[in-house]
């Protein structure tokens, strides 16, 4: 039982340590250099790490709460973009500042979408239904804005 509990705490700590340790080393070396905005490769890396964490932490044997784990992964994603890239991303070849709450929401949707492909047995039905509702809502909103 003690080993299981230590594994539950180890996964988020290792994940967070890896992301923030890289950031701390980068900031130390380039303290006076302006952080560059997150590009597609950066965002893909953070997304891949997030979905890996989400699938591993919620698999049978670990059984962490999916919603809470998703929140940790999406919050970490947004925090890294904020701290390492100054909250800026490159989208459609333009640099832009992103709202961290919106970024966390979009990251959550993208992580659920990937989890449904990679580890569908880990995703609760309620989360899958909410995902479908939100993606339909976003499609309608995007259709109105065009």
Cα 61 to Cα 1, 8, 51, 56, 137: the distances in Å are 11, 10, 18, 10, 35
Q: What is the pLDDT of residues 67-83, one digit of tens each?
A: 999 999 999 999 999 99
The residue extents of the domains of the chain are 2-145
CA quadruple 110, 115, 118, 124: dihedral positive or negative?
A: negative
Is 80 in contact with 23 (CB distance < 8 Å)? yes
Task: Categorize the per-residue pLDDT at 24 as very low, low, confident or very high, splitting at 50, 70 and 90.
Answer: low
Q: What is the pLDDT of residues 55-64, one digit of tens each?
A: 999 988 777 8
pTM of the model: 0.73
């Amino acid at each position: 039982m003690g080993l299981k509990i230590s594994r539950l705490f180890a996964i988020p700590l290792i994940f967070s340590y890896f992301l923030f340790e890289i950031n701390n080393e980068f900031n130390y070396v380039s303290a006076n250099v302006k952080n560059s905005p997150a590009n597609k490769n950066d965002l893909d890396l953070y997304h891949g790490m997030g979905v890996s964490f989400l699938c591993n932490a919620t698999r049978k044997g670990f059984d962490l709460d999916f919603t809470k784990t998703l929140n940790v992964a999406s919050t970490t994603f947004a925090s890294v973009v904020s701290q390492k890239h100054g909250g800026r991303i490159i989208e459609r070849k333009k640099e832009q500042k992103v709202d961290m709450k919106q970024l966390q929401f979009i990251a959550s949707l993208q992580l659920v979408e990937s989890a449904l492909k990679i580890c569908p047995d880990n995703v609760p039905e309620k989360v899958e239904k909410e995902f479908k509702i939100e993606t339909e809502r976003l499609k309608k909103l995007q259709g109105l804005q065009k």
